[in-house]
Amino acid sequence: MVKNCEALIEVKNLKKYFHVGNSQTLKAVDNVSFEIYKGETFGLVGESGCGKSTTGRTIMGLIEATSGYVLYEGKDVQHGKKSKRNRKELYRKMQMIFQDPYASLNPRMTVSDIIAEGIDIHGLARNFDDRLKKVFNLLETVGLNREHANRYPHEFSGGQRQRIGIARALAVEPDFIIADEPISALDVSIQAQVVNLMKELQQERNITYLFIAHDLSMVKFISDRIGVMYLGSIVELAESNRLYEEPLHPYTKVLLSAIPQPDPVTERRRERIIPKGDIPSPINPPSGCRFHTRCPLAMNICKTSEPKLLNIKEDQWVACHLY
């Protein structure tokens, strides 16, 4: 359920274009606007290459926006990061968890040093004992134990490594965590454990999440609201249950139809909607509605006029000429 409608993050008309070979422009994020409320999990979903990570990294201020802006508690992230002190504080408040917990952990550092890196940078421990105590607490918080502190990342399983990544993010007591496909590389049984851990931590620490994923299966359990992205744009944004029960955008229906159902009867009845053709290139996205080349319900207007994201029902926004 949506707990609170006070925005922690406001993304307004955000564009991120990359200049690629032959003086072409790749529109990775093209005019995206949404808010993330304090204490909620906002899920951002869409196929590979639709611009999810670029959106996340621009919100973090790791890459510069082409235009538009991101506000964190009303403060401009991109602009705010120009002052050294603001930048350091923003980097503490916003943390990231990555898809590949192995590649994102330095193999030559002990778990203890990996977790304590942020503590050291931000001077959050009074002395060595305090630092160690914090590391032990964090390990226990994520379901590991203090014996793990002096080991190296390769000694852990994928799920355990993701727990180390979570402990590292928590070490600096962030208010906001961007989790970029944090469970995609894990076995299904482990995925649920990591999602549950993230949910528990959110309740205990009132953390706000941006949870990025390429399919809708796990996102439902963790997200309060979900934005569906296609080729750099948000095509539907809705309260999580509503999105699953009454999806409006034809592309959302495609993504939902791809989720296998646990119940064999519903699974047998599941009709997979396969969109026509391949995803077009973000270098030359289709005119009008970007999805029209693949949409089973495309009309003439879809080829020429770009639909706006409109509030169709309570807690549900959709960019589609059908509505």
Q: What is the largest CA-CA distance in the chain?
A: 68
Per CB under 6 A, does 48 bind ligand ATP? yes
Structure tokens at 307: 């639909």
Cβ neighbours of residue 51 closer than 8 Å, sequence gap 6 or more: 16, 28, 29, 30, 32, 229, 231, 232, 282
Binding to ligand ATP in span 11-40, by CB under 6 A: 18, 20, 26, 28
Do the Cβ atoms of 183 and 220 come closer than 8 Å? no
Q: Quickly list DSSP for 207-239.
A: -EEEEEESSSTTHHHH-SEEEEEETTEEEEEEE
Binding-site partner at residue 168 among ligand ATP, Mg ion, none, CB < 5 to 8 Å by type: none
Which single residue brings its beta carbon nearest to Mg ion?
53
Between 46 and 288, name the residue whose CB sits nearer to ligand ATP. 46
Per CB under 6 A, does 51 bind ligand ATP? yes
How far, in Å, CA of 291 to CA of 70, rounded? 26
Tell me the window of 48-56, 100-108, 215-223, 224-232 that interacts with Mg ion (CB under 5 A).
48-56
Q: Quickly list DSSP for 122-167.
A: TT--SSHHHHHHHHHHHHHHTT--GGGGGS-GGGS-HHHHHHHHHH
- The CB-of-252 to ligand ATP minimum distance in angstroms stands at 16
**Binding track, positions 267-296, relative to ligand ATP; x by CB under 6 A:** ---------------x--------------
Between 25 and 300, name the residue whose CB sits nearer to ligand ATP. 25
- The CB-of-181 to Mg ion minimum distance in angstroms stands at 6
Structure tokens at 2: 């949506």
Tell me the window of 47-55, 245-253, 264-272, 282-290 that interacts with Mg ion (CB under 5 A).
47-55
**Could you list the residues that contact ligand ATP (CB under 6 A)?**
18, 20, 26, 28, 46, 48-54, 214, 282
